[in-house]
Amino acid sequence: MMFSFPFLFLLISWTFKVVRGSGCAGGSIPLLAPYETYPIGTDNSACIGGDGGSPFHFHQLGSPVQTLQVWVGGGAPNDGIKAIFVQFFDGTSYTAGSIPASGFTKSEFTFEQGETLQGQYILCGNGIGTRTGYIYFETSMGRTFQVGEEHTDYVFDSGNSFLMGLFGQSGSDIDQLGFYLMKPLQSVALTNVDYTNLGSLSTQKPQGFYVEDFCNSLNEPAQHTTTLTTQIGQSYTFTNDESYSLGLTYSVDAGVPEGPSVSLSASWTVSESQTRSQTMNTLTTTTSSDTATIAPRTFGKLFWSWWNNQIQVGYNGTMVYTFTDGSTWDQAVSGTYNGVYVSDVWYSTNSTAICPGGMCVGTDVTSCASSPTQESSCISHTSKGCSASSDCCDSKDKCILGSCTTTCIMPKKKCTASSDCCKNNKRNGCTNKGKCGKCGGQSATCKTSGDCCTGLTCKNNKCN
């Protein structure tokens, strides 16, 4: 059969149009999930090149392209692209064509996490319709990638989206090439959040603590005001494991771990679910005057407390992608919640009744006007009038400053015996100055009698 020249030209043109359109990648371009698409170029083509080679489809579920390596050249006219190596953020990699040992130029581009294509990208053939010969694109970070020899430009709209993979045909060269993209996004939200080990962090205690002495000899309640500088509020950040490689900012539909408002011991709980940002910080440093009510005719210690706890806990959840065409895609994700919770300030008291006739001198109590008359030979708990611990009715009490009590004396306060004083690794007795502090007991090493506890003197460098 003979064909005229115009008819033969039209037949050849039609043949290449089919290869670049419905004939891409062996005539089938499979999609992994609802998020995936491929654009159609200016000549209604999905890929550019010839019809040789075998089909390839390089894409990974939920993971965009991280690195492209492209080999071009070789010295032959219209040689086109020799080979492509592609690696995804999940670590998977593929190769199309034959990577040459030498004689070719390699170009490489590595996407940052969250970096997308921007505007339009260009693919070209090799000038004679048998190979892919040129790639050009720009990114959301202002970078460009250009490789190969430019011929007729075939322009594609990237949708400012992620490069999710490549498809086409190859043998020893890249015969044809097209791009997989993610559909343009409308929103991303983290939902169904389950904190994986919150139960193991169940026992918490207040981290902020401030102690004061008080004394109220009035026959009515008294107000005690303290000025405290604290942080109040909450901060948190949701982060994802490395497998979440898109690097997008997203909203969170979930509750967050929080501590109690007023409690000496409590567990972490999860607040009511609501839509919130991925990161939040409402922590503020405030100086405020806090007031406590002191019961009539009592003295003791006032404890100011507040929560100031940090928490790091893993979570599992679902990332829901909503696209501009109305479709959605759910991806299972895991990550870490990092938070700081600081509560309001509250107070509690450890108080002792002032005996009849006793008066406050600062935060100390003067001796009673007369020794209390008691029906029994011992002195009851919190009552004045003892001279030794054996005078107290309760075997757990000690006679401290003439009062039967279990409360020890804090450092720098008056004492009569070392047993009156609160013990820790720095202060361990009643000094010769009559105040609780650090001093040496029997046979302790000393330089002067001031180093020894009350009732002992320093002789021959020993407390005796």
Provide the CA 462 distance to its chain's centre, in angstroms. Answer: 56
**Confidence at residue 377, expressed as pLDDT on a 0 to 100 scale:** 55
Segment holding 12, helix H or strand E:
helix 5-20
Q: Which residues contact 168 (CB under 8 A, 6 or more apart)?
A: 24, 25, 47, 49, 53, 55, 56, 96, 132, 174, 175, 176, 177, 178
**Confidence at residue 257, expressed as pLDDT on a 0 to 100 scale:** 85
**Confidence at residue 311, expressed as pLDDT on a 0 to 100 scale:** 84
10-183 shares its CATH topology with 186-349: no
Can you read off the two tokens belonging to residue 314?
């893993």
**Confidence at residue 326, expressed as pLDDT on a 0 to 100 scale:** 93
Right CATH for 10-183 from 2.100.10.30, 1.10.760.10, 1.20.1050.40, 3.40.47.10: 2.100.10.30
**Confidence at residue 14, expressed as pLDDT on a 0 to 100 scale:** 29
CATH number of 186-349: 2.170.15
231 CB burial (10 A radius; 0-12, 13-18, 19+): middle
Ranges of residues in the chain whose predicted pLDDT is under 70: 1-22, 202-209, 242-245, 259-266, 367-377, 385, 387, 394-396, 401, 423-428
> Which of 229, 208, 340 shows the shortest CA–CA distance to 286?
229
**Extents of the domains making up the chain:** 10-183, 186-349, 379-408, 409-464
What is the Cα–Cα distance from 371 to 352, expressed in whole angstroms? 17
Amino acid in the structure at residue 205: K
Can you read off the two tokens belonging to residue 268?
């972490």
Q: Model's pTM, two decimal places?
A: 0.61
Secondary structure of 200-255 in the HEC alphabet? Answer: HHCCECCCEEEEEEEEECCCCCEEEEEEEEEEEEEEEEEEECCCCCCCCCCEEEEC
